[in-house]
Amino acid sequence: MDSLSADKIREYRGTLTKPGVESPHRNRSVEENLDLFGRMRAGEFPDGAYVLRARIDMASPNLNMRDPVMYRILHASHHRTGDQWCIYPMYDWAHGQSDSIEGVTHSICTLEFEDHRPLYDWFLEQLGIFHPQQIEFARLNLSYTMMSKRRLLALVQKGIVDGWDDPRMPTISGLRRRGYTPESIRDFSERIGVAKRDSIVDVALLEHCLRDDLNKSARRVMAVLRPLKVIIDNYPDDKIEEVEAVNNPEDESMGTRPLTFSKVLYIEKDDFREDPPKKFFRLSPGSEVRLKHAYYITCVDVEKDEKTGEIVAVHCSYDPATKGGWSADGRKVKGTLHWVSAAHAIEAEVRLYDYLFTKEAPDVVEEGKEFTDFLNPNSLEILHGCKVEPSLAEAKAGDRFQFLRHGYFCADTKYFTPDRLVFNRAVSLRDTWAKIEKKQADE
């Protein structure tokens, strides 16, 4: 039993290069120690008055062996045992015993506990109980992601994220809400392996595993995130048709569904350019594209707001001979767009996520900086007024879809209701056009 203050214990411990000094209380008699420990457990002393320490070796080059503390007084309410106890064991003292009691044969932990293994072994040996083997491995680090629980807690407490299950959080609840499948996480775990060296796994691999899984299983649906009105001039005003859409080209057994086509549609704003760059396969004045599963259309006119010059609608003509999305004359169109019928689409809120940090290793920060200095201001973008196909009205929280040409989305488990459809983007599709465009911009 030691009655040195915490400060004194630190002082007596020595440093990395200087051996420690034994506490003046180190040689108390067994009787006195027993008496003191009994009273300590009985709650006679205030916090910090006494600690129980193991007498090992104050000169050990391993600081953990310099008479480590086993129990300290903490008059705190425990979430399970309440005020029943006022002394609590230190991790090193408790760790081996709980492993032993549980009959764990191999106790896996992270690298920073390598220095603690001699102590783990020492306690077990002194106790003479079943001796599990502790083995240390490197922790998982993900690029552009923070994995430290303490720092993640800070994000939650500061309100930077929407709780532990914020879809940007690398927590299980966060990944789940984001739309990650258990299969994809297991696949990822297998692919990254386990080793003893410090490393940062590319978050792109995690994303790849999700795409890989969802590509095979997710239902394809039409969702226009940033709507642009398209009017088919030569299509009858009141006509409504049904076209058949494949639910998943990777899995025929998932069947088809009907889609409603009409004169006024929405397409993606990005899918139209009045002044198209090179290699732009989408809609532009005079160009012909396919509306997926429906018709070929050609842009004939652009309608702009007189004051702002903003494009408010695009006028097209359609070829009635291309129903279903193919042409008997064999002519090809390079672009295929997704769309929804304006009168039939339903509204949704879509949340686009990006990495929480702009730095590959946000927990490695230089002097004077904090990890919060590298937060990505654009990690969340909320889109209102998105137009999605009517079948999504039957979606349930947690359902996953591929929004055609966009990515994989998950109906949010926190905010999704029949009256308010909220979808989280789990991961985008690979965007080859974005690369081409970026390359063109660089040149």
Partner RNA sequence: UGGGGAGUCGUCCAGUGGUAGGACACAUGACUCUGGAUCAUGGAACCGGGGUUCGAAUCCCUGCUCCCCAGCCA
Q: What is the DSSP letter of 191?
A: H
Region binding RNA by CB under 7 A among candidate stretches 70-78, 123-131, 153-161, 340-348: 70-78
Contact with RNA (CB under 7 A) among 27, 62, 126, 189? 62
Task: Please identify which residue in 43, 256, 430, 440 interacts with RNA, judged by CB under 7 A.
Answer: 430
* Residue type at 63 in one-letter notation: L
390 phi, psi to nearest 5 deg: -60, -25
What is the distance between the alpha carbons of residues 443 and 429, in angstroms, rounded to a whole number? 25
| 3-state SS assignment for residue 136 | strand
Q: Which spans in 235-334 are helix H?
A: none
Window 96-155: residues binding RNA (CB under 7 A) = 111-116, 138, 143
Looking at the Cβ atoms of 6 and 305, the one nearer to RNA is 6
In the block, tokens 């040689």 appear at 27
Query: Please, which residue, 206 or 348, has the CB nearer to RNA?
Result: 206
Alpha helices (H) along 103-171: 117-127, 149-157
In whole angstroms, what is the distance from residue 79 CA to residue 252 CA? 52
- Based on CB atoms, which residue is closest to RNA, 155 or 267? 267
Pick the binder of RNA from 173, 248, 260, 376 (CB under 7 A).
Answer: 248
Please say which residue, 402 or 413, places its beta carbon nearer to RNA: 402
Smallest distance from RNA to CB 377, Å: 23
What tokens does 336 get? 């295929």
User: Judged by CB under 7 A, which stretch of 10-18, 26-34, 163-171, 412-420 contacts RNA?
Assistant: 10-18
Give yes or no for residue 21 binding RNA (CB under 7 A): no
Q: How far is the CB of 328 from RNA (least distance, A)?
A: 11
What is d(CA 103, CA 91) in angstroms, rounded to the nearest whole number?
18
Bridge partners (DSSP) of residue 109 are 136
- Strand 133-137, strand 106-110: pairing: parallel
Of 28 and 397, which has the nearer Cβ to RNA? 28
Min separation Cβ 394 and RNA, Å: 20
User: In the complex, what is the shortest distance from the CB of residue 162 to RNA, in angstroms, rounded to a whole number?
Assistant: 26
Q: How many residues bind RNA (CB under 7 A)?
A: 83
**Residue 57 binds RNA, judged by CB under 7 A:** no
Q: What is the DSSP string of 347-415?
A: EEEEEEE--SBSSSSTT---TT--GGGGB-TTSEEEEEEEEE-GGGGG--TT-EEEETTTEEEEE-TTT
Q: Which of residues 420 and 435 has its CB atom nearest to RNA in the complex?
A: 435
Residue whose CB is less far from RNA, 4 or 231: 4
Residues in region 300-329 near RNA by CB under 7 A: 324-326
**250, 301, 303, 373: which one binds RNA (CB under 7 A):** 250
- Rg for the chain, CA atoms, rounded: 32
Which of 31, 198, 419, 442 touches RNA by CB under 7 A? 198
Q: Which of 117, 116, 123, 4 is nearest to 54 (CA)?
A: 123
| Distance spanning both ends of the chain, measured CA to CA | 73
Q: How far is the CB of 322 from RNA (least distance, A)?
A: 8
In the complex with RNA, which residue's Cβ is closer, 196 or 414?
196
